[in-house]
Structure 1
Amino acid sequence: MTTATILTISDTRTLTSDKSGQTIAATLVAAGLTVSQRLVVPDDIVAIQSAFLQLEQTAPDLIITNGGTGIARRDVTFNALEPLLPVTIPGFGEQFRQISFAEIGTHALASRALAGFNVREQLCFVLPGSTNACQTALQQLILPELKHLLFERRK
């Protein structure tokens, strides 16, 4: 069984009020995955990296983060996590922005969504905090390609 963890990056959300994290968890469970842990941390590079590394230690197959992928000064998720993903999957961010462009227009250009594998060979997706954006990424990109990406990296 594939296991996943979820990290929400937000200065304003808690586990209880984190609609995007709840949506990600429910969607993964409905697809047959096990969600072993959810965390919420503030928009702070050290807090993000610390929580991400903590989740790595629990040995999930998949780590999904949401929040802080825009270009505002407080959006530091990309800066925090890109160095922790030595193998990136550029096509994910490109395709996500293309799908988002069809949904929300040119605002999609500000997204720094990304995907890759960390040093423990865990598949990682770095998503925006918007619940709709998370749902789009899960339904149109992550779930259809998840097994293939894990298989390819593990062979």
Structure 2
Amino acid sequence: MPHPHPDSDLSAVRCGVITVSDTRSPKTDKSGKIIQSLLSEAGHEIAHYEVVRDEPDEIALLVRELAEQENIEALLLNGGTGISPRDNTYDVLERIIDKILPGFGEIFRQLSYEEIGSRAIASRAMAATYESTLIFSMPGSSGAVRLAMTELILPELRHLVKQLSGKS
């Protein structure tokens, strides 16, 4: 699908990648590796990568710390977006964000519905801003990560970061 206004500035976006999981490690984190690989292939920089337990205080602390770093313009989280008792990412982000980008979650769920059917309603994927940092939060499954990255995040990442910085 064509973009309404292609990005003329192809500079790298400096990204932090966070996997929220009680069971994954950097060695077993397939979704985190997919995010990093797709970002790198698109010419973006991985400024930080970490696996954090699905504990609200740990997630909030890490998001705040990374968002305050000048070398990070966007945070990409995966995991913890469902409705089980241990899924805390959405709830944590909802408490600390400045602005939500509702279109990301809406379109992601529509695209997911086309792939997995009605189970897409359980996804609490979201995009938001916190201070001057763009945040994307995706489910932890590899298929969901690949869908979000290729169809929504990568096509708009530079543009959204530029808008948030006030340089557009």
Q: When the two structures are superposed, what TM-score results if normalisation uses the length of structure 2?
A: 0.88
User: Aligned Cα RMSD in Å?
Assistant: 1.0
Correspondence for 2:61: 50
Equivalent residues in 2 for 1:1-155, closer than 5 Å: 1-59=12-70, 60-119=72-131, 121-155=132-166
Query: Which residue pairs with 2:8 in the alignment?
Result: none
Distance 1:42 1:100 in 2: 25
Larger Cα-atom Rg: 2
Count of aligned positions: 154
- Other structure's SS at 2:77 match: strand
- Are the equivalent residues in 2 in contact too, given 1:39–1:51 (CA < 8 A)? no
Distance across 2 between alignment mates of 1:134 and 1:82: 20
**Aligned partners of 1:87, 1:142: CA distance in 2, in Å?**
17
In structure 2, C-alpha distance between the alignment counterparts of 1:64 and 1:150, rounded to whole Å: 13
Is the CA contact 1:42–1:48 (under 8 Å) kept in the aligned structure 2? yes
Structure 2, unmatched stretches of 5+, are 1-11
Cα deviation for residue 85 of structure 1 reads 1.4
Q: Secondary structure at the match of 1:101?
A: helix
* Runs (4+) off by over 4 Å: none
The share of aligned pairs that are identical, in percent, is 40
- 2:6 — aligned with what? none
